[in-house]
Amino acid sequence: MILAFFVLVLVSAMGGALLFSTQVEVRMSQSDLRAKQAFYLAEAGQETAREALFTINGIDDLSDDLATAAGTDGNIDFDPDTLQPVYDGAGNITDFTGYGDDVPLQPATPLGDGVFIAFLTNDPTEGVTNTTDANHLVTITGVGGGPNGSFEMVQAIVEPDRPLPEMPGAAITLLGKNPNFQGGTSNGSTYEGEDCGGAGTPGLFVPIVGTIGAEAEADAITGIWESNGPDYTSGELTGDETFSDLTDPDDPLLAAGLGTIADDWTNCQTLKDLVEDLRGRADYSCSDRTDVLLITDEFGERTAKGNKCDIPDGASPGDIIFVDGNLVVGKTESGGGILVVTGEVLIHGQASWKGAVLAIGEGTVIRFGAGNGTLSGGVVVADIAGDDQIYGTDDDCGTGDDGFGDPDYVVDGGGSGSTIFCTTDLNAANPPEPYNIVNFRQN
């Protein structure tokens, strides 16, 4: 009986220990569950606020949003260390205090058995309380309160996003020290630097051809047909006056227009990174490096042979079409959006495009054949393919001046086609997208 008693005591002790351990594990599991619930609530606040900021602001400057967040006193008071939860009688969080008169980007919002809220501050580089945004980066702090007083906070540094950086302020931009520009000989053709031919921003005039450097500008000007050729006009300026060095802030068309070119377009590696980013975003992709030949028939009509990539039917603003290789845009093909071609791009004179044409790689654009097609938006041509003239190999950005070779823009045909700079078509082709999260952390 004594032995049985000790065995009973031992079993009871083991059972009690097991029960205690189970209770501890249950409590730990519940605590972990509540922490996860609060974390997901905080993340919901941050994501809801990120979407709200995008809806409110788009790609505009964020200083006005920071000023709104600062409240009536103009000072950002929000500090994660001073934020305090407000509890109801059951010990659940229902609201938050400790942020002065700041205006939450996302007010306290119930969700399930919890609540979330979100605040906007500047990024740490500029100082979180600074209400002036100069680098297009801001911080969104999401705070979540779950059941039984669980509390979590997440922070994300975000930036506005668009497929393309700010486009150069020229109808045609040739990147490289020795551009080959041949504007054609047809007196029916026109080049227009007034925004959207007068239907865009009132009083906005840009260069017809923009280059990098005065020598490049002089080289491009030699491609103007001096006698009975196309019209080059931008406001009161005509002919070679409509050609500009896009790095010269004193140029009259730049001073009164969109200013000098952004650095994103003048750095070869950055430009290649842009091409690869667009490859990843593309709505339609095609790869074909078949040689393209221009053939003239007995009637003088020029046709291009040799490429199998086609513009998809219905290509429209907002679409990104990526061709890794050569592309022929035939006389019956037209469209809009962002067209990226790493090889040669040949555009029939009858074809039209609204948006951005980026011939970045081998850097060749040829408009061939007669027609009245219109390129409306902006064209950028850059040879970054290196000595082998094949984009995507090891010598990209490895030759020429600062990694750039000599771009080619050639009009080889008649007709009454036009080339027009147009911010409306560029903006339609390059819509803002939900803000990128640059950095993220859980407090």
Q: What is the pLDDT of residues 145-156, one digit of tens each?
A: 888 888 899 999
Rounded Cα distance, 48 and 142, in Å = 9
CB 35 within 8 A of CB 152: yes
* Residue 218 and residue 364 share a domain: yes
Segment 231-245 mean pLDDT = 95
Residue with tokens 């495009």: 353
Residue 349 has pLDDT above 80, yes or no: yes
Band the pLDDT of 238: cuts 50, 70, 90. Answer: very high
Give 145's Cβ-side CA count (13 Å radius).
22
Q: Two tokens at 405?
A: 């070779």
Residue 28 domain-assigned?
no
The identity of residue 37, as a single letter, is: Q
Three-state DSSP class for residue 330: coil
The tokens describing 153, both together, are 């906070």
Question: Is position 27 within any domain?
Answer: no
In a domain, 8, yes or no: no
Say whether both 125 and 201 belong to one domain. no
> Does one domain contain both 182 and 110?
no
Tell whether 440 is covered by a domain: no
**Number of neighbours of residue 221 by Cβ within 10 angstroms:** 18
Q: How far apart are the first and last CA of the chain?
A: 59
**CB of 140 closer than 8 Å to CB of 44:** no
What pLDDT is stored for residue 366 in this prediction?
Answer: 93
| Residue where one domain finishes, among candidates 161, 182, 210 | 161
Chosen domain end from 110, 140, 161? 161
Phi, psi of 303 (to 5 degrees): -130, 155
Q: Lowest mean pLDDT of 85-89, 119-123, 206-210, name the range.
A: 85-89
Measuring CA to CA, which residue among 336, 331, 416 is closest to residue 378? Answer: 336
Residues 409 and 285 both lie in one domain: yes
**pLDDT tops 50 at residue 299:** no
Dihedral (CA of 419, 407, 333, 313) sign: negative
Are both 253 and 142 inside the same structural domain?
no
Q: What is the mean pLDDT of residues 335-352?
A: 93
> What does the pLDDT average to over 172-179?
95
Total Cβ atoms within 10 A of residue 249: 10
Confidence grade of residue 32 (pLDDT, cut at 50, 70, 90): low
**Residue 60: what pLDDT?**
84
Residues 200, 86 share a domain: no
pLDDT at 18 over 70: no
What is the Cα–Cα distance from 378 to 110, expressed in whole angstroms?
47
Radius of gyration of the chain, Cα coordinates, nearest whole angstrom: 30
Query: CA 259, CA 247: separation in Å to the nearest integer?
Result: 9
Considering the domain architecture, whether residues 140 and 178 belong to the same structural domain is answered as no
**3-class SS of residue 433:** strand
- Please give the pLDDT value at position 363: 96
Q: Is 62 left (phi over 0), alpha (psi -120 to 50) or beta?
A: alpha
**Domain that residue 406 falls in:** 172-433
Please tell me whether residues 157 and 188 are part of one structural domain. Answer: no
Dist CA 225 CA 231 (whole Å): 10
Contact in structure between 362 and 383 (CB atoms under 8 Å): yes
**Does 43 share its domain with 116?**
yes
User: Looking at 148-157, 348-357, 391-400, 427-436, which range is the least confident one?
Assistant: 391-400
- One domain, residues 193 and 308: yes
Q: How confident is the model at residue 227 (pLDDT cuts 50, 70, 90)?
A: confident
Question: Token digits for 39?
Answer: 């974390």
pLDDT-derived band at 317, boundaries 50, 70, 90? confident
Residue 23 lies in a domain: no
Residue 332 in this model has a pLDDT that exceeds 90 = no
Residue 146 lies in a domain: yes
Domain boundary among 126, 161, 196: 161
pLDDT at 248 over 80: yes
pTM metric for this prediction = 0.79
**For residue 277, is pLDDT > 50?**
yes
Type of residue numbered 92: N
Average pLDDT of the chain? Answer: 89
Is the pLDDT at 367 greater than 80? The verdict is yes
Rounded to whole angstroms, how far apart are CA atoms 350 and 380? 20
In angstroms, the CA 436 to CA 343 distance is: 30
**Cβ neighbours for 174, distance < 8 A, ≥ 6 positions apart:** 181, 209, 210, 211, 212, 216, 220, 381, 382, 407, 409
* Confidence category of residue 104, pLDDT binned at 50, 70, 90: very high
Q: Is residue 441 part of a domain?
A: no
**pLDDT-based confidence at residue 263 (cuts at 50, 70, 90):** very high
Q: pLDDT band at 79, cuts 50/70/90?
A: very high
pLDDT at 92 exceeding the cut of 90: no
Residue % of the chain over a pLDDT of 90: 65
Cβ burial 145-182 (10 Å sphere, 16+ → b, else e): bbbeebbbbbbbbbebeebbeebbbbbbbbbbbbbbbb
334 plus 201 within the same structural domain: yes
* Number of domains the chain is built from: 2
Query: Per-residue pLDDT for 351 more than 70?
Result: yes
Is 237 domain-assigned? yes
Question: Do 113 and 241 fall within a single domain?
Answer: no
